[in-house]
Each structure stands twice: as structure tokens, then as C-alpha cells.
Amino acid sequence: MHRWEIRLSELDESEMAAIEEFFEANQGAFGNFSFTDPWDGRVYPSCSLLGDTLDVQAVAEMRDSTSLTVMENRG
């Protein structure tokens, strides 16, 4: 079982909107998606977001930040 903690900062508004849309499309921890491990490029076909909360910080224009945890599903 794998888990990835993804911290994102210095995002522009378009990038942050894409993250928010992804979170909403998955309904938080409910949805399933495939995830490509950024370290080795291996694709994990069944993953979910770990939590039901997405915290968005807009510090200034083009300086948004958030964090997500992706978890590989079993079964």
C-alpha cells in the first residue's frame, strides 16, 4: 500500500481551480482514480484522496497553496 503526501505552493488560480474541481469530482475521499508516482512514473490504477477536506490558501495573486494525500486502495 502506498501513500503520497503532495504539498503544492505558488500555484496560479487556474492550477488551484483544477485541484478544486478534481476534489469535487471525487467527492473527497469517495472517488477512485489512477495516480502516476512522480518518483518512478509507475501508474497505480486504484487510488483515492485520503481525507474529505481540501484547504485552499490564496496568499496573493498567483500564489495559492494546498496539500493533498493520495492513498492506494486495496481490494
Partner 1 sequence: MLVYPQLGTGALSQFPVRKQHRTRTVANRAADGSSIKLADPTGEITEWQLPYAELSDGELSALEEFFAAAEGTLQSFTFLDPIGNLLAWSGKLDNNVWAAEPLLAVAGGIGDPFGGTQAWRLTNRGAAAQDITQTIAAPGGYLYCLSAYVRSAQGVTVTLLIGNGRATRTATNQWTRFAFAWTGDAALSSTRFGLEIPAGSILDVFGLQVEPQGAPSAYKATTTGGVFEGARLADDALQVTTTGVNRHSCTVNIIQCKASLI
Q: Is 6 in the site for partner 1 (CB under 8 A)?
A: no
> CB 37 → partner 1: shortest distance, Å?
20
Compute CA distances 54 → 10, 17, 23, 35, 41, whole Å: 16, 12, 7, 18, 25
Q: Specify the pairing of strand 3-11 against strand 33-36.
A: unpaired
Residue among 36 and 73 whose Cβ is closer to partner 1:
73
Which parts of this chain interact with partner 1 (CB under 8 A)? 1, 12-14, 16-18, 20-21, 23-25, 27-31, 48, 52-62, 64, 73-75
